[in-house]
Structures are given as C-alpha cells and as structure tokens.
C-alpha cells in the first residue's frame, strides 16, 4: 500500500490535470472503485479514517461469515482464495481486503477522516476538508463511507437513565461476557438473529429476542444452491411477482414458527427489501434455536423504566444485558448534506455511476441494500463509476504513468 503525498496544509492551487479522484473510505466499496479507476489509468487516492483498510469488517463480531458466497463476493481483479471456503470468515474478509489493496498497489492514505466536501470556488473540482486541517482538491469524489456507518439506537423513553448493561450490536464481539447471564437482543435483522444464536451457543443462561416486525427467513443454501443465486436470478423480476414466488418457497423450506412468536410476515419478501431495505434473515441457527425454545421471541421494546425494559403489550422484564441490533445510519449530513444531494433517511439521491445533476463529479457507492449481495453490487458499481468518471471527467484527472 503506497502512501500518497497528501499535504498537511491548505492545498496550493493545482493545475486541473494534476488532480486525482478522491475516494472517501477504504472498505470494499472504496477499494474496488480505486482499483477500477486505476485500471483505466486514472489516479485514485483512497482516504481512510482508521489505521487500516476494511475497518468495518475488523469491528464485526467474531463468528461472522459472509452470507454471500465467496465467488459472488469477490471484488474486481482479484478472486478470493478457495481456501477461504464457501462462506468466508470475517478475518479472511479482512485479509482479502488487505491483500486487495496491496496486490493492486492502491494509493491508500490511512488516518485521514474527511469531514466536508464542497465544490471548488471555480467550479472545476471538489475540495475536501480532512483531518489536521488538510484541504485536498480532486477532479471527482467517490463517497464510500458505508451504509452501516453510525450505530442507530431508537429514541426509547427512559433509555438515557437506564442503568443496566446496554450495548449496540456494533460493540458485540462474542458471547464470553454473557455466559450464564440473561440477555435481551433487540431487533431481528441478520445481525440480531446471529447474535442471539451466538449467545445460546456461547452459554448465556437465557436469550430473548425482541421482534417488532416478523422477518422473512430463508435458508442460506438448499441442496448446494445458495439463496444469493436465487436472489440474483429474480432481482429484475417485478417486485410483486417475486413476493408471490417467495411464499411457497418459504413454506417448503422454513417451518411455521407462529407458535413461538415468529409468524410468516404479511408483507412480501421483495417488497420489504425494496421499500424498507430489510434483507431477509439468512438462517444460521435461528430456526432451530427458536423451535427448541433456546431463543425466546418477545414483543417490541417500548421503553425503559426503573432499571427494567418495558415490552409492547407485556410486563417489564429485567435482563442482565440488552444488546440493540437496531441498525446504523448513513451519517452523511455533515459530509455532503449542504450539497442538497441527500433524500429520505439521509440516503444519497444517487448511487453508482449516476452523479447528482447539481453536483456533477460527486459519486456514491454502497448506499444500497441489494437482495443479490452488497459485495457483488459494489464490485459492479466500481467499474461503472470508473467508466463514468473516465468519460465525464477523465481529461481533468491525473493519469498514472503508462
């Protein structure tokens, strides 16, 4: 990984042809885009706020494996090694991202957090404000700071004064600290479901899972055919049609867990992905744990009161610890909010190869929840973004030596 020469001082005016493309964020999305730009002969500099690439993956809980397959999760220009197996472990994802940056000789500058992006005064590029008073001018900017950026905790009444142990799933590593304890996991996305199972397997005395809306659950793989492969096949079909097709499939492969508190959802599987960004829960042990009563499903958390957790329609409960698997926010407001490029829920109005009409040259990647797997879409978008930048801005971007 080469260090680029980033000035610690306000940038001197540069000739436009000397400007690189700045990629903000050294996760899979940022690295793939930097590679795709490099493959087109364009200079891309990745600015990463932490000390290493793949910072989000380094923080994820220990037992996490990709639930998308190795082959369909590789980034452009470097397959994942076969020895990583079909479902790649978190540490191997990190190894892969490190190798990816090194193998493609990407220009990555670590320890640099970009706080604000604005157009240059002459309107020919983008000015980035970053750690240590740095001001960097790029021909184009790709924001790859992650969909799962900042832990989101609902504004539950009484939460601020709750004195019990409380953490966000982003701070959960493994079950060790929870052995022999009574734990409430709040939220049943893929993360909440897997943490609940991890707690059971790791020896928690009691595990309750608080569910507001019953999720769609699917098997990660059936007879060697992955859920991701099905998702890729159906992703361009009409949403309602996929919803309908999913019903008999779910009935065939997932038992009815209504008696245990997880009825089949009323809303369609694909509708929930498209309308709410709710990816179906891939089963890595939840079905079995719920059937056996090892994970008890309880209703939504309403509030916190006198050191207890109040559930909708139920009495207060007193777990030893609460783990909020309640998602993340994009946290793009400070970075680009003033550019009028954010829509509902702080999501950028464009993603991938499109650039906002009012902010040409500003790109976003990773701000999607595709049913077909985010790594796969990040890989595809990287090449589309590089193509778009080469076409629209290419002549203003500094080029790599031939």
Ligand X SMILES: Cc1cc2nc3c(=O)[nH]c(=O)nc-3n(C[C@H](O)[C@H](O)[C@H](O)COP(=O)(O)OP(=O)(O)OC[C@H]3O[C@@H](n4cnc5c(N)ncnc54)[C@H](O)[C@@H]3O)c2cc1C
Q: Minimum distance between the CB of residue 354 and ligand X, rounded to whole angstroms?
A: 17
Query: Which among 2-10, 101-109, 366-374, 394-402 is the span making contact with ligand X, rule CB under 6 A?
Result: 366-374
Stretch that binds ligand X, among 261-269, 283-291, 304-312, 369-377 (CB under 6 A): 369-377
Between CA 193 and CA 279 the distance in angstroms is 12
Closest C-alpha to 283, from 67, 35, 44, 21: 67
Spell out the SS3 assignment of 60-124.
CCCCCECCCCCHHHCECCECCCHHHCCCCEHHHHHHHHHHHHHHCCCEEEECCCEEEEEECCCCC
DSSP assigned state of 79: P
Backbone φ and ψ for 368, nearest 5 degrees, come out as -145, 160
Nearer to ligand X, 145 or 396 (CB): 145
Distance of CA 235 to the CA centre of its chain: 19
Q: How far is the CB of 148 from ligand X (least distance, A)?
A: 4
* CB nearer to ligand X: pick between 352 and 394: 352
Q: How far is the CB of 335 from ligand X (least distance, A)?
A: 6
Antiparallel, parallel or unpaired: β 225-226 and 221-222: antiparallel
Rounded least distance, CB 25 to ligand X, Å: 3
Q: Is residue 268 close enough to count as binding ligand X by CB under 6 A?
A: no
* Residue 375 binds ligand X, judged by CB under 6 A: yes
366, 371, 381, 385: which one contacts ligand X (CB under 6 A)? 366
Please work out the total of residues on this chain that contact ligand X, with binding judged by CB under 6 A: 33
Q: Which of residues 322-361 bind ligand X (CB under 6 A)?
A: 335
Residue 376: CB minimum distance to ligand X, A: 6
Name residues contacting ligand X, limited to 154-213 (CB under 6 A). 191
User: Helices 269-276 & 239-253, crossing angle to 10 degrees?
Assistant: 130
State how far the Cα of 59 lies from the Cα of 196, in Å rounded to an integer.
18
Residue in 23, 37, 108, 114 binding ligand X, rule: CB under 6 A:
114
Among the residues of 184-305, which ranges form H helices?
Answer: 190-201, 227-234, 239-253, 269-276, 286-291
50 binding ligand X? (CB under 6 A): yes
Interface residue list for ligand X (CB under 6 A):
24-30, 47-50, 55-57, 60, 64, 66-68, 73, 113-114, 144-146, 148, 191, 335, 366, 373-375, 378
């Amino acid at each position: 990984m080469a260090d680029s020469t980033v000035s610690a001082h306000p940038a001197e005016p540069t000739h436009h042809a000397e400007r690189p493309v700045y990629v903000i964020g050294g996760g899979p999305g940022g690295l793939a885009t930097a590679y795709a730009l490099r493959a087109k002969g364009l200079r891309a500099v990745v600015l990463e706020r932490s000390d290493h690439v793949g910072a989000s993956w380094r923080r994820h809980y220990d037992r996490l494996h990709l639930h998308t397959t190795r082959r369909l999760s590789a980034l452009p220009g470097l397959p994942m090694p076969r020895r990583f197996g079909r479902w790649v472990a978190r540490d191997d994802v990190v190894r892969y991202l490190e190798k990816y940056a090194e193998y493609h000789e990407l220009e990555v500058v670590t320890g640099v957090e970009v706080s604000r992006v604005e157009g240059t005064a002459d309107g020919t590029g983008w000015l980035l404000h970053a750690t240590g008073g740095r001001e960097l001018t790029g021909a184009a900017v790709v924001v790859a700071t992650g969909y799962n950026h900042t832990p989101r905790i609902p504004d539950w009444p009484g939460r601020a004064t709750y004195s019990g142990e409380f953490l966000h799933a982003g701070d959960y590593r493994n079950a060790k600290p929870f052995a022999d304890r009574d734990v409430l996991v709040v939220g049943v996305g893929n993360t909440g479901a897997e943490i609940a199972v991890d707690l059971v397997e790791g020896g928690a005395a009691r595990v309750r899972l608080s569910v507001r809306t019953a999720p769609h659950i699917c098997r990660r793989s059936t007879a060697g055919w992955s859920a991701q492969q099905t998702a890729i096949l159906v992703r361009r079909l009409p949403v309602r049609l996929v919803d309908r097709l999913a019903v008999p499939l779910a009935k065939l492969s997932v038992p009815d867990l209504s008696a245990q508190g997880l009825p089949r959802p009323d809303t369609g599987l694909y509708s929930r992905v498209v309308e709410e960004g709710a990816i179906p829960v891939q089963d890595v042990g939840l079905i079995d744990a719920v059937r056996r009563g090892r994970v008890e499903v309880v209703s939504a958390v309403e509030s916190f009161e006198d050191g207890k957790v109040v559930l909708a329609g139920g009495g207060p409960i007193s777990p030893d610890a609460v783990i909020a698997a309640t998602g993340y926010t994009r946290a793009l407001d400070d970075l680009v909010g003033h550019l009028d490029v954010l829509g509902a829920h702080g999501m950028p109005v464009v993603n991938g190869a499109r650039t906002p009409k009012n902010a040409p040259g500003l790109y976003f990647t990773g701000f999607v929840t595709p049913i077909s797997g985010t790594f796969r879409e990040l890989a595809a978008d990287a090449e589309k973004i590089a193509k778009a930048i080469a076409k629209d801005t290419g002549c203003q971007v500094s080029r790599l030596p031939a």
